[in-house]
């Protein structure tokens, strides 16, 4: 049995969320999946929620949970063309609430140091907590890129005051404050009550003395902190090590797919060759709107009833058909809305189905009950 799986765009634990929900709330969660998302599941095989899904679940309970984040109209930064129903700050708070919820469940099991009292449920919650924090940390790389664009826009428009907007820069400040507080709290946790077996090691006389780093506070290991100092294993270059962690991810594979811009919706189902009126736009990795395309494919994957077959097909895909985007003219900038996108396997090797109809995709968002059941 897998402990976790990358389900395209995020990592989802592969065990039941019974470890974090009480029996009462687990029943409520299963009913929500059955009634709102049309899933035929029970407590034992219900999927572990992501932060967006968890927020959708508590939103569906009405006013019972004040932590639920609702679609907002908070002021966005003028350069923000990605935020739709939620501003960047609300999306961040959504994930922070999610981590806090899992953290409370973990604390009830004796976190963060349970020692020999740790059981299977403790390990599952700890793992889920780690995944939630990892996803948020990875998202901060995207947030940093967006914040860079905001600062660039501010420099080009010095007369425009953006201090009161819910910007990506504000998300970075909130995340930094949260991480620092979390690390300070962790430094106060004592492990003296946990007795590990005694072990002895010996070193040669020429072994460097690195005891100065032994008592280093956790916050000083955070590379985004102003107090960070490089350790002895840090990259000698200020640019840091090359990030190759996503080379084999689904996003990395998609970036190598050939992208074809299709003019007519009727041509989207041709799975043998690119339509005659299609325009080859190079690899998806070089397309300026690659984020929107990947988001659309991620949504498509979440809406299919046969996700295993979809993922098998996705791994074998070598091309992407993209229906020509609709341009929505705005006051400050134009937005591109992609109606249909299809991963395709043009070079058949017998490893994947070639008919998108076999994915059994329902692309009507109203069936899922609106945003809170969006499963993005």
DSSP string, 70-133: ----PPPPTT--S-SSS-HHHHHHHHHHHHHHHHHHHHHTT-S--GGG--HHHHHHHHHHHHHH
CA atoms of 300 and 294, how far apart (whole Å): 10
CA atoms of 174 and 99, how far apart (whole Å): 15
CA atoms of 99 and 370, how far apart (whole Å): 24
CA atoms of 367 and 364, how far apart (whole Å): 6
Helix (H, G, I), strand (E, B) or coil at 280: strand
pTM here is 0.55
Cis peptide, bond prior to residue 112, ω within 30 of zero = yes
Residue ranges covered by each domain of the chain? 4-187, 250-373
pLDDT string in tens for the chain (376-residue length)? 344 443 334 567 888 898 999 899 999 999 998 888 778 888 888 889 888 889 999 999 888 888 899 999 999 999 988 788 899 999 999 999 999 999 988 888 876 776 667 788 888 999 999 999 988 988 888 899 899 999 999 999 999 999 999 999 999 999 988 888 776 666 555 555 555 667 888 888 888 777 666 667 766 777 777 777 777 777 777 777 766 666 567 777 888 888 888 888 877 776 667 777 788 888 888 888 888 888 888 888 788 877 777 877 777 788 888 887 766 555 666 566 777 888 887 764 434 333 333 223 333 333 333 333 222 2
C-alpha pair distances (Å), 364 with each of 299, 358, 370: 11, 17, 10
CA atoms of 361 and 338, how far apart (whole Å): 17
């Amino acid at each position: 049995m897998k402990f976790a799986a990358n389900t395209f765009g995020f990592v989802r634990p592969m065990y039941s969320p019974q470890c974090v929900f009480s029996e009462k709330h687990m029943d409520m969660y299963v009913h929500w999946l059955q009634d709102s998302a049309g899933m035929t599941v029970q407590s034992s095989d219900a999927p572990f929620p992501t932060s967006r899904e968890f927020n959708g679940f508590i939103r569906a309970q009405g006013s019972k949970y004040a932590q639920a984040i609702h679609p907002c109209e908070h002021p966005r930064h003028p350069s923000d063309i990605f935020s739709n129903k939620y501003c960047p700050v609300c999306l961040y708070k959504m994930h922070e609430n999610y981590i806090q919820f899992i953290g409370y469940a973990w604390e009830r099991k004796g976190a963060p140091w349970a020692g020999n009292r740790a059981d299977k449920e403790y390990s599952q919650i700890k793992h889920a907590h780690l995944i939630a924090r990892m996803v948020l940390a990875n998202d901060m790389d995207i947030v940093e890129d967006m914040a860079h664009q905001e600062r660039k826009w501010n420099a080009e428009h010095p007369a425009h005051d953006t201090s009161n907007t819910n910007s990506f820069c504000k998300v970075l400040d909130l995340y930094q404050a949260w991480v620092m507080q979390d690390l300070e709290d962790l430094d106060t946790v004592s492990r003296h009550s946990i007795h590990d077996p005694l072990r002895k090691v010996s070193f040669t006389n020429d072994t460097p003395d690195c005891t100065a780093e032994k008592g280093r506070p956790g916050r000083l290991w955070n590379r985004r902190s102003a107090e960070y100092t490089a350790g002895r294993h840090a990259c000698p270059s200020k640019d840091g090590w090359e990030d190759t962690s996503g080379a084999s991810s689904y996003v990395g594979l998609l970036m190598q797919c050939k992208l074809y811009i299709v003019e007519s919706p009727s041509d989207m189902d041709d799975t043998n060759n690119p339509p005659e009126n299609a325009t080859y736009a190079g690899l998806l990795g070089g397309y300026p709107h690659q984020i929107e395309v990947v988001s659309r494919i991620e949504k498509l994957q979440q809406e299919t009833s046969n996700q295993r077959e979809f993922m098998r097909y996705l791994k074998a895909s070598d091309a992407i058909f993209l229906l020509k985007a609709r341009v929505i003219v705005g006051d400050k900038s134009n937005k591109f809305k992609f109606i249909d996108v299809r991963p395709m396997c043009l070079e058949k090797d017998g490893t994947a189905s070639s008919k998108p109809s076999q994915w059994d995709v329902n692309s009507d968002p109203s069936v899922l009950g609106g945003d809170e059941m969006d499963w993005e």
